[in-house]
Structure 1
Amino acid sequence: MANTPQAEKRIRRNARRAAVNKARVSRIRTFVKKVEASLAAGDAAAAAEALKAAQPEMMRGVAKGVLHKNTVARKISRLAGRVKALTA
């Protein structure tokens, strides 16, 4: 339990930040799922469009400090490779 006013404030702030970060990660996952659904359906055009929409969201997660840069780079690279393989 927090003993000082500053520690109590940090607990409140951390709870607010956790809620914001959880919403951001959830939003990113939704965009990625749209790409994966298009890939599973075999729709190359929809997959390319979904990837185009997902990339900025994922990079925004990096900028906001929710996800690590290399993690997002790896995920974008793998998704792009799958989309490219579907179009070829």
Structure 2
Amino acid sequence: MANIKSAKKRIKVIATKTARNRAITSAVKTYSKKVISAVQAKDKELAQTQLKIAVKKIDQATSKGIFHSNTAGRKKSKLQRLVNQIA
């Protein structure tokens, strides 16, 4: 356990940031799974609407520094490819 006041504060701040990052990452995973399940159900319209929401969440996470821009691009590209496969 930390003895210095600033170190104690850093522990609290890190715990808060970790919880925030975990929540946002979890939300991105949830919306990505919704896109994948819509693709598996061959529902193109639902997949496209879910894709729009998922891309928005990924972009928000990137702007907050949770994802690297290349990681975000890779995730969006993967989801877009899945939606485009429905014909």
TM, length-normalised to structure 2 = 0.94
Alignment deviations for residues 26-47 of structure 1 (CA, whole Å, 9 cap, x no partner): 1111111110110111111111
- Partners in 2 of 1:66 and 1:32 — Cα distance? 16
Give the secondary-structure state (helix, strand or coil) at the position aligned to 1:2.
Answer: coil
Give the secondary-structure state (helix, strand or coil) at the position aligned to 2:16.
Answer: helix
Percent identical: 38
> Which of structure 1's runs of 4+ aligned residues deviate more than 6 A?
none
How many corresponding residue pairs?
87
Aligned twin of 2:4: 4
Gaps of 5+ in 2: none
Gaps of 5+ in 1: none
- Partners in 1 of 2:66 and 2:34 — Cα distance? 20
1:53 maps to 2:57: no
1:17-32 aligned within 5 A: 17-32=17-32
Alignment deviations for residues 30-68 of structure 1 (CA, whole Å, 9 cap, x no partner): 111110110111111111110011111101000011111
Shift of 1:3: 2.5
CA-based RMSD of the aligned residues comes to 0.9
